[in-house]
Amino acid sequence: MGNKKIAFIGTGVMGSSIVKHLLKANYDVTVFTRTKEKAAALIEHGAKWAETAGAATLDADIVLTMVGYPSDVEEVYYSENGIIENAREGMNFIDMTTSSPALAKRIAKDAEKKGIFSIDAPVSGGDIGAKNGTLSIMCGGDEETFQQLLPLFQVFGKQIVYQGEAGAGQHTKMCNQIAIATNMIGVCEALAYGKEAGLDAETVLQSISTGAAGSWSLSNLAPRMINGDFEPGFYVKHFLKDMNIALAEAEQMKLPLPGLQLAKEMYQELVEEGYGEKGTQVLYKQYSAR
């Protein structure tokens, strides 16, 4: 698929690394992000620049979007000079934003009217996974289209799984975020307990990160907590958005999720304290400040 022209909308912490992988794989990539300065390094690496999401779409075969919130997804797809207005038959949409399953279904339905297939493909793995090209990608939409796009996903992903019809990728990402949310509480409490017991935190991690307690957060984020590194691999404000989406979906299902509710309340406090643009590991401050 290396001869395909790619439009990439949104070049944040993870999006920038994905674009670099695409450029390295010799894709022709045009980027758009709200602040051109944030895309300067990508332009230096060979990416083209478009003034709007619609302008990026005009000459593309595949449009990938990775923005912040469902409202941002709606804006780039449905605004007057957005993606859908400027799309043409035979294109593919891939939304990698963690967003609403209902919105993913809406985009797929509206795209199909124009002869376009849309895949919702949220990712997990944070800044590390994006840099290493080892993201987990959860895909919903037409299965034949997914198979056609698989070589593209393999440029920046490792665990790439088709989950079902449109919206299924987003529902799977909600499962992912629910598991992370409560696990992050456990990681923080384990480190806090070890500290109070007078243990060396790094030595504790040597034992527990490879045993039954092992998790991605324990291996990758606990060392950052210990070193006081709270810079974002994934923003607190975006994690809070994800938890709110999951809780809203669960409410529609009449499914109580008390663990997720607790994590949401703790992260809400962090946002109110000004930590919204820190990494999710900043939850440790809830325990280490005492």
User: Residues with catalytic annotation?
Assistant: 173
Burial 178-201 (b: 16+ CB within 10 A, else e): bbbbebbbebbebbbebbeeeeeb
Q: DSSP string spanning 33-78?
A: -SSGGGGHHHHHTT-EE-SSHHHHHHT-SEEEE--SSHHHHHHHHH
Cβ(164)–Cβ(108) below 8 Å: no
Cβ(65)–Cβ(93) below 8 Å: yes
For the record, the structure tokens of 204 come out as 């504790």
The gap from C-alpha 219 to its chain's centroid, in whole angstroms, comes to 19
Please tell me what DSSP assigns to residue 280.
G
Distance CA 140, CA 73 (A): 16
Please tell me what DSSP assigns to residue 136.
E
- With both helix axes pointing from N to C terminus, report the angle between 236-253 and 168-196 in degrees, rounded to the nearest 10: 120
Cβ(68)–Cβ(12) below 8 Å: yes
